[in-house]
Structures are given as C-alpha cells and as structure tokens.
Amino acid sequence: MAAVTTSTERSLNKLAIVGVLIITMIFLAPIYWIASTAFKPRNLATTIPPTVVFQPEISPFVKLFTKRSQLRTAPTPEQYAAAPWWERLVFDGGEKVVRSGRGEVQWSGYPSRFMNSLIVAITSTILAVGMGTFTAYGFSRFKIKGEQDLLFFILSTRMLPPVVVAIPMFLMYRVVGLNDTHWGLIILYTAFNLSFSVWLMKGFMDEIPREYEEAALVDGYTRMEAFFKIVLPEAATGIAATAVFCFITAWNEYAFALIMTNRRAQTAPPFIPSQVGSGLPDWTVIAAGTFLFLLPVAIFTFLLRKHLLRGMSFGAIRK
C-alpha cells in the first residue's frame, strides 16, 4: 500500500512540474517575442508564419535613438561610405537620419523619456516606502482610535483605477501648474502606492516582537533611536519587498503618464507606442524600446528576488 502511495505521489509531482513548466512558457512567450522582434530586420517583423530563425541586427536600436525620415533618393556610394556604420544600417532600411543645418545628428526623445521614468519611479518608490514604513509602525505599535476605519480608508484609495481619476486630476493639476512636471507624477505615484505600502509594511511590523524595542527603551534609547536601530534593520526584508512592488507599479504606469504629461516629464510607456516610424508602423523599433524598458525593473526585481517570497507570504496578504 505504501509503495502504491509513493508511486502516486511521484506521478502527481511530475504532473505538477510539467504544469509549472507549461505555465512558465506561456508567461515567458510574450517576453521572448518582444526580445526577438527587437533584433529582427523590419521586413521579418510581421511575416506570416512568424520568422523564428533569422540573422539578428541592432538597427532597431539605432532607429530608436535617432530621428529618421523616409529616404526618397538612394545615397551615393560616396555618401554611403562616408556615413558612420550605424547610419548605414538606417540607410539599408530605406530611411535616413535627420540632421540639423550644421550636420549634427538629431536624437530621438527616448533617452530623456527613459530618464524621466527612472527619476519618477525611484523618487516615488522612496517616498511611498518611507512614509508607508512610518505609518505602518504607528498603526502596529500604538493604539489608535478608529484604527480599522483608518486602514480601510487608506486601502480605499486603491479601489478606483487610475484612468477614472485621471481627468479630475488633470484639471486640478492645470490650475496649480503641475501638469507635465516630474513632481506632478511623483505625487500621484506616491499617493497611489502609499496604501499598498502601509498595508504590506504593517504586516511586517506586526511580525517584529515588541520586546526588542522594550529592551532598547530600558537601556536608555529614545523611541526614534529604537525605531532606527532596532526595528528598521529587522524590517529590511519587508522594505525591500515593498519597494519592488511599488517600483514595478510606478515604472509600468501608463494612464497618468499619458494624460498628465506631454513633453518635459513624459515617461517611456506613453512614448514607446508613438514610435511608429515613417509609413507603416516599425514594430522592431517599438520592440527595441520595450526591451530596453524591461531591463531596469527586471534587474531590480532579480537583485531583490530573495525578499519577494516573504513579501507575498506575510503582511497584508496574510492579514
């Protein structure tokens, strides 16, 4: 009987592994498709059936970082030979790099939009996690009248999707002059992530024994000294996990960035779809921009991957 049970368990384990592999492949398929399209020649991006084996090239990335126009007349052999190697890739695609009257290359807006995404996402994450940590500590360690009602009110700020409040926020921002500014987006993303930060960090704060602080207070520490020297190091795992989720949300946000920004503070998500190229949409350029946009959040999540499992197991999820 024991042998039959063991055999059944092994079969179930194998089926579970196969199921996990299938689900993983389904979720990774879009990422592979984006990455492969980013290195495809333009004429192979929309072939039916799809082209899987091809000679990779970096011309989509060159086009992503430069302004281009349709090539009406082919360049002369002298012009082609005198052009930099990366500009020849644009020539080969039937386009030319736009230059100023002094011959300077006109770069696209992608680098500035990418930098805007970094500034807004990093700053809003620091603010949301910092304020969320202090707020969660207060709810965890002190008796607050109407605590459950206050926590529910904080959570209620996440009940409406961003697109619902985008228009009212746009009108208010226009009055106070925060449209198309970095601080305008930072305030919105911080407010949007703060409720999640508070609820997740409260769970981590509840896991830290109060006796640690009480011992520190007996030894002469102030409440703030006990918080920074005792509680904060113990909550480092929760802070890291919360930071990952807040950063991903701010990094990928589209609705606010589309409506609230136009040029100066525009982030990468609304800018990437606008890179349709001249004539037919150039999906390779869009894929190249998306591929580069995925790298920072993938690297950040990979570096803090050890903290994510606990972040999903404790705190607001468990509560």
Task: Say which range, 87-96, 122-131, 187-196, 252-261, has the weakest mean pLDDT.
Answer: 87-96
Continuous H helices in the chain: 2-37, 59-65, 77-82, 85-92, 110-141, 147-156, 162-176, 182-207, 210-218, 223-226, 232-234, 236-252, 255-260, 268-271, 283-303, 305-313
Distance CA 172, CA 175 (A): 5
CATH code 1.10.3720.10 region(s) in the chain: 109-316
The answer to whether 212 touches 230, Cβ cutoff 8 Å, is yes
Distances (CA, A) of 9 to 17, 20, 316: 12, 16, 33
Q: In the predicted model, is pLDDT for residue 301 greater than 50?
A: yes
Number of neighbours of residue 9 by Cβ within 10 angstroms? 10
Cα dist from 159 to 162, 189, 193, whole Å: 9, 15, 12
For residue 187, which phi and psi values (nearest 5 degrees)?
-60, -45
CATH of 109-316, one of 1.10.10.10, 1.10.240.10, 3.60.15.10, 1.10.3720.10: 1.10.3720.10
pTM: 0.84
- Per cent of the chain over pLDDT 90 is 22
pLDDT value for 160: 78
65-79, 100-114, 191-205 — most confident range: 191-205
Give the tens place of pLDDT for each residue, 215-260: 888 888 888 888 888 888 888 888 988 999 899 999 999 888 988 8
Peptide bond into 270 cis (omega under 30): no
Q: What is the pLDDT of residue 274?
A: 74
Q: Which residues contact 200 (CB under 8 A, 6 or more apart)?
A: 132, 136, 238, 241, 242, 245, 311, 315, 316, 317
> Other C-beta atoms within 10 Å of 159: how many?
8
The yes-or-no verdict on residue 308 having pLDDT over 60 is yes
- On whether the CB atoms of residues 117 and 248 are closer than 8 A, the answer is no
Across 287-309, average pLDDT: 85
For residue 316, pLDDT beyond 60: no
